[in-house]
């Protein structure tokens, strides 16, 4: 089945630093979504991408849909303590499937 390889698995950074994480796949995706999950909560949508090459920002967050449609990255600029959490990429493949395939997540720790 389709798999998303998300990296890095975890990151420990200082407040104010920029962060970058990415997802790759051998399959083509026609939608990429980035979610954040806080402990004990459900995933919350951060950014949605629908076109190859699309670059979208949401405040300090920027995400891009790769040209090959097999990858996406998420950048967080000037990190703050509340950015702590687990970030998941998720994608929907071609072929009309409704399901989202999730990456394994990047656990972000921000030291004040």
Give the footprint of another protein on this chain (CB under 8 A): 31, 33, 35, 40-45, 48, 50, 88, 90, 92, 97-105
Question: What is the signed CA dihedral for 49, 32, 58, 84, rounded to 10 degrees?
Answer: 180
Write phi, then psi, for 81 (nearest 5 degrees). -55, -35
Minimum distance of another protein from residue 104's CB (angstroms): 5
Q: Residue 16 or 58: which CB sits closer to another protein?
A: 58
Minimum distance of another protein from residue 8's CB (angstroms): 15
Q: Residue 16 or 96: which CB sits closer to another protein?
A: 96
3-state secondary structure of 25: coil
Q: Residue 35 or 73: which CB sits closer to another protein?
A: 35
């Amino acid at each position: 089945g389709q798999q998303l390889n998300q990296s890095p698995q975890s990151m420990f950074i200082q407040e104010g630093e920029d962060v970058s994480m990415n997802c790759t796949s051998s399959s083509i995706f026609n939608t990429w979504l980035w979610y954040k999950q806080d402990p004990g909560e459900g995933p919350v949508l951060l950014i949605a991408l629908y076109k190859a090459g699309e670059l979208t920002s949401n405040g300090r967050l920027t995400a891009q849909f790769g040209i090959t449609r097999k990858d996406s990255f998420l950048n967080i600029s000037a990190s703050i303590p509340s950015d702590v959490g687990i970030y998941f990429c998720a994608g929907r493949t071609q072929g009309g499937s409704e399901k989202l395939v999730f990456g394994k997540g990047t656990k972000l720790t921000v030291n004040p």
